[in-house]
Amino acid sequence: MKIYHLSTAFDIARKISFQQQKRDTRFIIRLSIGATAISVAAILMTLSIVNGFQETIAQKVYSFWGNIRVNSINGSMLDMDQKTIATIQQLPNVKSVQPFNTQSTVLSFGQDIEGVVAKGIPSNAEIPFQTKGKRLAISEDSSNNQIVLSDVLANRLNIPLNSFTRLYFLNSGAVQQRKMKVVGFYHSGIEDYDKQFVFVDIKSLQQLNNAPNQVEGFGISLKQNENTQQTSDQIQAILPKNWVATTIDNYYPQIFDWIGVQTINRNVTVTILLLIAIVNLLTCLFILMLEKVPMIGTLTAMGASQNLIRQIFLYQASFICWTGIGIGTFIGVGFTLLQKHFGWIQLDESAYFIKTLPVKVDLMQIGMVIIGTAIISYLSFLIPTLWIKRISPAKAVQFN
């Protein structure tokens, strides 16, 4: 009997949903479908944009410094302990371990000077965000006087590729200079990095400080960013005394806090859009029920249960809901894929650290949006259907 009722309710709902509607009713239905589609599309686009934005900005910082940094507790230099480095490298989530030194210096080209920070890395190591030229050449000694600048510094000081610049270091109260050949340019899009850092061979800084086997720290890149704190704890457990492993977000909280704020903005936006979709669907369902009051009275007089009548309108609302969800999913996913492929939408890089709006498709999120919207809509649909039991058959058949 229950299966019979469900089949009957579905057939009636299908007929009244696809029959010729009054102009006003037809407009309300289309408006409701459109509002649902726009809300679902906007939710999917919001999620993909925030996902892409957070991942891209975080990955820029990770590419520059690694996910985890190892330093001494008191700020002193660390010995190149190859055994410890090898042990860290064997951890399952560790991708690479790169020693580094940093030292403040003055960059000079022609009559122009600029205060910068020289970051020493191993020769032939990958330069993050390098756009032109080549890496620092491999050198067996400390005579590798090559440098990679940001294109921001190069443009500001009019420094061409393969030209020679000078770096002035203050060391033990004396100024030492190094003549450096510009072998490449990089562009991270993070203004503080591009204006501040230049890359040199780590051996040059070690020779300058007369510490050939010491480094300031190690940048550790991970295979998976999700397990950063867990991996940091594993590294800390095998480090020598007075060494400390710290996740990079603790060094740059202003950037990662800003990234975290986007999650709050995303949640607020998704909630508002979902409420708009639900209100539109509820309004549409109320209007459809008002239009069908005579039908409700007739069915009630013929002995139809309130549950059967309620199922009819739930099915009709479902047709509208799923049509809107389907169209919205197509638009939302389509926009995301088009932006990912063509990158039409551009941003102010000085404000957002990126030039092209990044997007990231997450299939699980898409599924959750579709299912979540449907479930919340179904629960909301129960509210107007409670009005059915208040309809008197005698008055309903006279309703106009």
Residue 94 confidence (pLDDT) above 90: yes
Between 13-27, 217-231, 377-391, the lowest mean confidence (pLDDT) is in: 13-27
The dihedral sign for the CA sequence 310, 315, 319, 324:
positive
pLDDT band at 108 (very low <50, low <70, confident <90, very high): very high
Among 12, 89, 36, 19, which Cα is nearest to 283's? 36
Share above pLDDT 90 across residues of the chain, in percent, rounded to a whole number: 44
Mean pLDDT of 118-147: 83
Position 141 confidence tier, pLDDT thresholds 50, 70, 90: low
pLDDT of residue 3: 41
pLDDT tens-place string over residues 207-249: 888 888 899 999 999 998 888 999 999 999 999 888 999 999 9
Q: Please, what sign has the CA dihedral across residues 325, 326, 328, 332? A: positive
Q: Which run of H or of E encompasses 96? A: strand 94-109
d(CA 276, CA 38): 10
pLDDT above 60: residue 293:
yes
* Phi, psi dihedral angles at 160 (to 5 degrees): -85, 160
Per the model's pLDDT, the better-predicted residue between 303 and 286 turns out to be 286
pTM: 0.80
Q: What is the pLDDT of residues 252-269, one digit of tens each?
A: 888 888 888 888 989 999
pLDDT band at 87 (very low <50, low <70, confident <90, very high): very high
Is the pLDDT at 1 greater than 50? The verdict is no
Confidence tier at 201 by pLDDT (50, 70, 90): very high
Average pLDDT on 84-95 reads 92
- Render pLDDT for 321-366 as a digit per residue (tens, 0 to 9): 898 999 999 999 999 999 999 989 998 888 888 889 999 999 999 9
Mean pLDDT across the stretch 291-311? Answer: 68
Q: d(Cα 144, Cα 141) in Å, to the nearest integer?
A: 7
Q: What is the mean pLDDT of the chain?
A: 84
pLDDT at 74: 85
Kindly give, in sequence order, each residue whose CB lies less than 8 Å from that of residue 194, ignoring residues fewer than 6 positions away.
Answer: 150, 151, 152, 153, 186, 187, 188
Residue spans of the domains in the chain: they are 2-60+256-396, 75-241
pLDDT, mean of residues 97-104:
93
Percentage, residues of the chain above pLDDT 70:
83
Q: What is the mean pLDDT of residues 286-309?
A: 68
User: What is the average per-residue pLDDT within 261-286?
Assistant: 85
**Exposure of 36 in the CB half-sphere (CA atoms within 13 A):** 30
Confidence of residue 283 (pLDDT cuts 50, 70, 90): confident
Q: What is the pLDDT of residues 28-49, one digit of tens each?
A: 778 888 888 999 999 999 999 9
- Cα 362 to its chain centre, rounded Å, is 10
Rounded average pLDDT over 90-98: 92
The one-letter code for the residue type at 232 is: S
